[in-house]
Amino acid sequence: MRFFEAQENARAQTLRLLVLFSLVVACLLLALNGALALTWRLVFSASSAYPAYFFSVNTGLVLLFVLGGWWLEASVLQRGGQALARQAGAREAWPASRPAEQQLSNIVSELAIAASMRAPQAMVLPREHSINAFAAGWDETDAIVAVTQGALDRLTRDELQGLLAHEFSHLREGDTQLNMRLAGMVYGLEMVFNLGRQMCVSDEEGRHSILALPGFAVMATGSLGWLAGRALKAAVSRQREFLADARAVQFTRSKEGLGGVLRKIEGELAARLTGGMAHRLHPAVQHMLLVSAAARSPWLASHPPLAERIRRIYGRPMPALRTQHADAGEPTRPDPLF
């Protein structure tokens, strides 16, 4: 893998998508003003003047919803990475009494030196038996990396290092904050749609108020902006996953580390051994998982397909690896799946 080239490509794609996201908000402002202006002309005579500050108030309200949604979502992370991890069932690593967690803490310290950053708090999800991990935190002072018990049980040291290097990239590149800001803005776009829907609600006798007509305009334009925002936010998240994969290869100087992890997870998916912790995480933190549940639509998927991530790391398709759960008393040596 040409990891420096892959990183630059991912950053360039992210920048393009962020510009598109800004254009979506700008187009929403124009479309909403146009729809409300047309509604005004339909309700009143074509020659009547618009009320004072008509367009300014419309624009201000949309920006209020978008920026307000960002503020509401950002406030969730103010509790800190450890609070979010504990909400998901994580606890601090116990290196003094558990050799696997001592190894985890050692790798975290090594990667902090390699990445030239403060070491995050190492945490464990003891009840999760699939292979997964996530990072969270508003800044380096409260950053955490949490790995599942399944990762500790079934990954080699090099693979665990590759998994953690991927999470370090999310922290180093500020992906948690970026995802939170985009999630907030998408939430604000959803609030615009919900405002229009509420304006269209009928009374107990099925009659609509005079607000229904402008409400339909707000709902129609808001729905388009909301869907476009969700799709662009997911696309940004996929590029950050590619960037984190490339960063992991850079930090570890090995494609076998993270590559082996992803191939083992692909084997778990084939055997239906994956866990289900995503529902307990805040949506913005779900995007920080190494592997997340597949979305119904590929346009809204927060992670790229596993096969594509593996192909980019190795430069060619690779077979999945099968592992046995440690509590089953079986060997943990991986076997290829064809």
Of the candidates 243, 251, 248, 255, the residue with the CA atom closest to the CA atom of residue 316: 255
Ramachandran class of 272: left when φ > 0, alpha when ψ lies in -120 to 50, beta otherwise: left
Q: Do 113 and 229 fall within a single domain?
A: no
Q: How many domains does the chain contain in total? A: 2
Of the candidates 14, 4, 27, the residue with the CA atom closest to the CA atom of residue 241: 14
Least confident of 155-164, 172-181, 297-306, 310-319: 172-181
Which is more confident, 109 or 65? Answer: 109
Cα gap 7→37, rounded to integer Å: 45
Is residue 99, in this structure, part of any structural domain at all? yes
Q: Do 142 and 267 fall within a single domain?
A: yes
Q: Do 9 and 99 fall within a single domain?
A: no
Q: Do 311 and 271 fall within a single domain?
A: yes
Q: Do 225 and 250 fall within a single domain?
A: no
Picking from 209, 239, 269, the residue at the C-terminal end of a domain is 239
Least confident of 24-33, 70-79, 98-107, 234-243: 70-79
Q: Do 188 and 214 fall within a single domain?
A: yes
Length of the chain: 338
Determine what percent of the chain is predicted with pLDDT higher than 90: 36
Is residue 334, in this structure, part of any structural domain at all? no
Give the domain range for residue 49.
3-79+175-239
Q: Do 104 and 147 fall within a single domain?
A: yes
Cα gap 147→134, rounded to integer Å: 7
Of the candidates 268, 257, 273, the residue with the CA atom closest to the CA atom of residue 310: 257
pTM, two decimal places: 0.83
Is the pLDDT confidence value at 176 over 50? yes
From residue 225, give the alpha-carbon distance in Å to each of 22, 79, 151, 235, 297.
Answer: 11, 30, 39, 15, 17
Is residue 27, in this structure, part of any structural domain at all? yes
Q: Do 88 and 159 fall within a single domain?
A: yes
Q: Do 46 and 145 fall within a single domain?
A: no
Per-residue pLDDT tens digits for 36-58: 888 888 877 666 788 888 899 98
Q: Do 137 and 259 fall within a single domain?
A: yes
Burial-class residue 215 by CB neighbours within 10 Å (0-12, 13-18, 19+). buried
